[in-house]
Amino acid sequence: MAKKSKEELSLSEKKERLNKLMAEKNREYKDTILKFAKDEEDKERFPFGNKQIDEFTGNGGVGGNFIIIWGGEGVGKSTLALNQVATAQKKNKICAYVDIEHSFDKQRAELFGVNLNDLVLIENANCAEEAMDIILSLAKEKVVDLIILDSIQAMTPKAESEGKSGKERSMEEDEIALLAKKMGKFLRRCSTPIYKAKIAVTMIGQSRTGGIGSFATHEELTGGRASKHYSLLTLFMQKGPGAESPTEKVTLEEKDENGKPIKVTKKIGFQGIIKIQKTKVNSKPELSDLRIPFYFDRGFYNE
């Protein structure tokens, strides 16, 4: 048996030195930089207020982290975000809605239970940088609990509309990957303040067609890879087949040849499909999907 080296430490000696080093570094940085995993606080969850969707996603967003909801037009992305806001407000959480698309509708928000008196609405930012700075300030001051960013695609960098001299750019000029670069910088700077402030951030994304020029095109999330990297939970939403849409019988004012009222079947929503593309939380596995009816007048079906 090999003899124990004088420099080799026992397990207890290693732990003693480690504890001492951890304490020294935390004093040096004036913060708890090093700790044991058992001392990590449980992260608060920010559910969507829908039983099926919350069970599917592991109870929604995560305090101190980012999630992404993305997909095509009219698939329920903003509705799901408004549900999340309303649910958080019921727990006395302060929410901010960054409306870069200028599409926020007060009546629709109230329909889903949002308290407009307590919702911070940010919609007059002139460029992506202004919106990003506002989010960063909210995080550093620790004054909100949930932030909705609607949407990633609408985050227009200043350099896309202005040159370095401040002169307005011509529409003919091309700016390569400006949004992707800006989102990468924003997330790198913002992730730690968001984590320390325990803020849940839900980013809404629009889909674009990828693989153009190849044999197989597909839907992609705009904004580059940084968003995907920082997301703890990524949900892709789409509509199901039209035949699966919820319907109801409607009686028309007209009558048939026998004098009886004419009844027709009318679509009152669509079959929503929510897929988990990425997860680092206790949700259903990646590539799982949930099929749930969406009604135009009240949103997703809720048991």
Q: What is the mean pLDDT of residues 210-216?
A: 50
The alpha-helical segments, DSSP class H, found in 148-299 are 158-161, 178-197, 225-230
Q: How confident is the model at residue 175 (pLDDT cuts 50, 70, 90)?
A: low
pLDDT > 50? residue 170: no
Q: How confident is the model at residue 210, as a pLDDT?
A: 54
pLDDT > 80? residue 3: no
pLDDT more than 90, % of the chain? 71
Q: What is the mean pLDDT of residues 21-35?
A: 95
Closest CA to 99 of 133, 125, 73, 118: 125
pLDDT > 50? residue 172: no
Q: How confident is the model at residue 149 (pLDDT cuts 50, 70, 90)?
A: very high
Q: What is the mean pLDDT of residues 182-211?
A: 89
69 close to 59: Cβ distance less than 8 angstroms: no
Q: How confident is the model at residue 239 (pLDDT cuts 50, 70, 90)?
A: very high
Q: How confident is the model at residue 168 (pLDDT cuts 50, 70, 90)?
A: low
Question: Was domain 41-160+176-298 assigned CATH 3.30.70.1230?
Answer: no
Which tokens sit at 226? 């940084």
Q: How confident is the model at residue 2, as a pLDDT?
A: 52
